[in-house]
Amino acid sequence: MKNIILFIAVIFINQLSNAQNIKTKNVPAEIENTLYSFALNDNLINVQRYEENKIRGFIVSILDKDLNTINSSKIEAANSVLHNVSYKNGKLLLLIQKNDKSNLTIVYNVVTINTNDLSKTEKNYIL
């Protein structure tokens, strides 16, 4: 029994001595809490949640290969849920559900963003 414990201890100590050292780095705010991310040529498209001055919504950012912001756009969306984001043919499509408690309705908002200039078009569907 002592030999088994000694053998396990030697294996454990050997594993600890050969364990890899992992270096960590602070994550920049541009990629922290990213909900969705897509590749755009050599750049990156990030969709994040934001809140400032009691206003909530989403930020769409285009980042370069060094994770520096090239361009960004805010979408104000209080009392809403982001259900899906798709990217195709230079357009980013966001499906946002907004709950209107006063009318007891659910509004689905489809926001289309052109990734060249981050211009937006919106279409609402009321249920």
Query: Is pTM, for the whole model, over 0.85?
Result: no
Q: In this predicted model, which residue has the larger pLDDT, 27 or 63?
A: 63
Read off the tokens for 65. Answer: 């290969």
**Does the pLDDT value for residue 119 go beyond 80?**
yes
Amino acid at 91: K
Task: Give me the pLDDT at residue 113, please.
Answer: 93
Distances (CA, A) of 107 to 27, 73, 75, 97: 35, 22, 15, 6
Alpha carbon separation from 21 to 15, 16, 18, 48, 104 (Å, rounded):
12, 10, 9, 31, 54
Q: 81, 74 in Cβ contact below 8 A? A: no
Location of structure tokens 């990213």 = 34
Output the pLDDT for position 127. 75
**Helix/strand/coil (H, E, C) string of 34-76?**
EEEEEEECCEEEEEEEEEECCEEEEEEEEECCCCCEEEEEEEE
> Tens of pLDDT along 30-70?
556 788 888 888 888 999 988 888 888 899 999 888 888 89
Q: What length does the chain have?
A: 127
